[in-house]
Amino acid sequence: MAPSSYFVSAFVMGFLLVLLGLGLIRGRDWQQYTASKRSDANWNDGEAEFELLRSVGANQTVWVLCFLFLTLGIGAGAILFVSGTAVSASVRQTAWLAVVSLSIALFAGYVFWGTYQSTRSRGLDSAQATLAALWVWGVLFIAVVTLKLVTA
């Protein structure tokens, strides 16, 4: 049986998580938020070059196809990784490396793009939004290093 300190730790962390969630929900009146649309007149110089990229990014078919491709790729890599002796060890190791690398790259890209778009929609220019996204990356990197040092 696990020591009682694990149960107490899990209970305290769960309680803090619930408190954080309640604080976020009650801390802001979410019903009053309205998204503002930018017009072409508000675009900065050089943003018109990315119109094709934005139209592709707004297309739902592209997102579905990319999701299916990535899901099948990660699934195939996971199957190669856990398959027994039918696949050589070097192929399993390469599949493991590909799955882990792709997962890290997807998470990092998601965090960067989400932070960038969020700060751009709040009125910051491109350089400030990039700085904010890189700052979030830095904080996450420090958190991972700290976690590694504490648990090692």
Q: Render pLDDT for 63-98 as a digit per residue (tens, 0 to 9).
A: 888 888 888 877 777 776 676 656 677 877 887 788
Q: Vertex 125, ends 54 and 52: CA angle to 5°?
A: 15
Residues 6 or more apart in contact with residue 112 via CB below 8 angstroms: 133, 134, 136, 137
Residue 12: predicted pLDDT:
85
SS3 39: coil
Kindly report the three-state secondary structure assignment for every residue of 57-102: HCCHHHHHHHHHHHHHHHHHHHHHHHCCCCCCHHHHHHHHHHHHHH
Regions of the chain where pLDDT drops below 70? 1-2, 28-50, 80-81, 83-87
Q: In this structure, is the dihedral angle defined by the CA atoms of residues 119, 121, 123 and 129, taken in order, positive or negative?
A: positive
Residue 128: predicted pLDDT:
92
Residue 109: predicted pLDDT:
87
Q: What is the residue type of 106? A: L
